[in-house]
Amino acid sequence: MNYLAHLYLSQDNGLSMAGNLMADFLKHVELSELPPAVLNGIENHRATDKFTDHHPVVLGLKEDFHPDFRRFVPIMLDVTFDHMLAKSWNDYHDLELTEFTRHAYAQLAEAEAHMPEVMRKRLQGMAKRDWLARYIETDTVEKTLQAISDRIRFENSLDQSFSEVMRQYELIERSFKVFFPELVTHIQSLKLEQ
């Protein structure tokens, strides 16, 4: 899952939210210096990724993608699942999406002292453009895939993968509707942050 889903699955405080996103920035972090709430958020993120990567619906989706993109299907699904979550946000959360994202940015800003600089800068840029709420648009999926492609240090076709996402769009959406409620139930049952 990508940032929006990880924030959705975190607790309603900046340390938890920071931890749930920080798991993607661990090479820049000294874990022994982090508060327990951030460490618990990191564990929550890891549990989310593990459940996602091994879920039969997600594994089954990989076979439907063109072979040129199969290596990148997990990334493509992470990004597209955030779009699906944004698109159906009111089915899962009481707050409107833009209200949730504003609240999340404010909570994350309060935890900036615990973030590595690269994470802090990325989140500040996201907040400035309200990138998370813009996941409701398919254009954001395309731009995100291109941005990730640019950050990968080897030659890759991820920047060309949006057309494949759109080709598989209805299948991804149906799969998300089955998978995501199961993920939420699983993470709640683990009680890693309670």
The model's pLDDT over 87-139, given as tens digits with 9 standing for 90+, comes to: 999 999 999 999 999 999 999 999 999 999 999 999 999 999 999 999 999 99
pLDDT at 28: 87
pLDDT at 1: 58
Q: Report the number of secondary-structure helices (H) and strands (E) in the chain.
A: 10, 0
pLDDT at 173: 98
Query: CA angle 93-95-96, nearest 5°?
Result: 105
Amino acid at 154: F
65: DSSP letter: S
List, in order, residues 6 or more apart from 91 with CB less than 8 Å away.
Answer: none
Question: Which residue, 129, 134, 136, 141, is CA-closest to 165?
Answer: 141
Q: How far apart are CA 69 and CA 76, in angstroms?
A: 9
pLDDT at 194: 77
Residues in the chain: 194
Tell me which residues of the chain have a pLDDT lower than 50: none
